């Protein structure tokens, strides 16, 4: 079951003070994820000795995210951070097959602690960009997640360096409701769920799939809508001003925007746009 950082926050929404603990083996990508969420940028990291703590803003609520070092000598100290933790993010290096058993042991050990009994568990299967990375289903099996009882757990395939899987709040089954799904804000190709990704310039079912003009995802959305596609846009639009411009562009094309919604700003400070299946 997929869960992004923003929907994890929604699970915790309504609590006055929110504390999220992020742990995992060393070199899993925890600190890279933290600062990608905080700054929207890739930062140069060194092994964390101790912890990093940052505040991530979402819907005018501040979430304190603790990123604790994962080296074997530091792991016994994790328990000192368990108290009052409402969300636990466990980061896994999907490419590290040799240590996935070790990751399982550490996760299972933590989940046996009373202080984490009510915590929502999110596993980030990080480094999905690497060619030999295990997918989310394989990691679910390797970590023994299906054996967990009375726990709210979720796993999300992710790539910390690109941000894939950290922000998008749409499952693959949701995406398949659309002809076209565009992920990201610039220099990305149209992705079709007809049965495969079309090549640029290829015509499928009477629709010609082209790269958007101007290099902006919103332009690609308009281009796809022009071609008669039902479109979903997920990605960085800067702010709601751009979202409104996008809606205006659709209206000028004579496209029904009754089912178009601009979400509230996500944890990254950007606002995804979703065009409903029946809205185009």
Paired tokens of 58 = 């979402």
Residue 126's pLDDT is: 94
30 is in an annotated binding site: yes
Residue 97's pLDDT is: 96
Residue 162's pLDDT is: 82
Cα separation of 62 and 89, whole Å?
17
Q: What is the largest CA-CA distance in the chain?
A: 62
Give the CB-side neighbour count of residue 137, counting CA atoms within 13 A.
0
DSSP string covering the chain: ----HHHHHHHHTT-SSEEEEEEESTTSSHHHHHHHHHHSS-------SSEEEEEEEETTEEEEEEEE--STTTGGGGGGG-TT--EEEEEEETT--TTHHHHHHHHHHHHT-GGGTT-EEEEEEE-TTSTT---HHHHHHHHTGGG--S--EEEEE-BTTTTBTTS----HHHHTTSSEEEESSBS---EE-SSSPPPTT-EETTEE--PPGGGBHHHHHHHHHHTT--EEEES--SSHHHHHHHHHHHHHTT---TTEEEPPP-TTS---EEE-GGG-
What pTM value is reported for the model? Answer: 0.57
Residues 6+ apart with CB under 8 A from 205: 194
Q: Kindly report the CATH class assigned to 5-157.
A: alpha beta
Residues 6+ apart with CB under 8 A from 206: 228
Q: Where are the domains of the chain?
A: 5-157, 172-279
Cα separation of 58 and 80, whole Å?
26
pLDDT digits (tens, 9 = 90+) for 184-210: 333 333 333 333 444 555 564 455 544
> Which residues of the chain are modeled with pLDDT < 70?
1-17, 40-51, 53, 56-63, 66-68, 70, 167-280
- Return the exposure string of 100-139: e unless at least 16 CB atoms fall within 10 Å of the residue's CB, then b: beebbebbeebbeeeebeebbbbbbbbbbeeeebbebeeb
243 is in an annotated binding site: no
28 is in an annotated binding site: yes
> In the beta sheet, which residues pair with residue 216?
186
Residue 172's pLDDT is: 43
267 is in an annotated binding site: no
**Which residues are tagged catalytic?**
71
24 is in an annotated binding site: yes
pLDDT digits (tens, 9 = 90+) for 204-250: 445 554 433 223 344 445 555 555 555 544 443 434 454 556 566 65
268 is in an annotated binding site: no
Q: Are strands 153-157 and 180-183 parallel, antiparallel or unpaired?
A: unpaired
Residue 92's pLDDT is: 95
């Amino acid at each position: 079951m997929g869960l992004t950082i923003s929907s994890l926050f929604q699970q915790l929404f309504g609590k006055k003070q929110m504390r999220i603990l992020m742990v995992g083996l060393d070199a899993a990508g925890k600190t890279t994820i933290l600062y990608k969420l905080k700054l929207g940028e890739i930062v140069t990291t060194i092994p964390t000795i101790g912890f990093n703590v940052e505040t991530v803003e979402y819907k005018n609520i501040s979430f304190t995210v603790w990123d604790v070092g994962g080296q074997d000598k530091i792991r016994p100290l994790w328990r000192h951070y368990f108290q009052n933790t409402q969300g636990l993010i466990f980061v896994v290096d999907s490419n590290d097959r040799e240590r996935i058993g070790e990751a399982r042991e550490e996760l299972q050990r933590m989940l046996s602690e009373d202080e984490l009994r009510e915590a929502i568990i999110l596993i980030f299967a990080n480094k999905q960009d690497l060619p030999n990375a295990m997918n989310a289903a394989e990691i679910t099996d390797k970590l023994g997640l299906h054996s967990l009882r009375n726990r709210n757990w979720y796993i999300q395939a992710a790539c910390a360096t690109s941000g894939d899987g950290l922000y998008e709040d749409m499952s693959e089954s949701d995406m398949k409701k659309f002809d076209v799904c565009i992920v990201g804000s610039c220099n990305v190709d149209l992705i079709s769920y007809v049965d495969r990704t079309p090549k640029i310039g290829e015509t499928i079912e009477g629709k010609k799939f082209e790269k958007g003009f101007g290099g902006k995802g919103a332009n690609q959305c308009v281009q796809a809508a022009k071609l008669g596609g039902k479109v979903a846009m997920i990605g960085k639009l800067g702010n709601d001003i751009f979202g409104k411009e996008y809606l205006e562009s659709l209206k000028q094309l004579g496209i029904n925007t009754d089912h178009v919604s601009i979400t509230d700003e996500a944890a990254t400070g950007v606002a995804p746009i979703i065009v409903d299946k029946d809205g185009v």
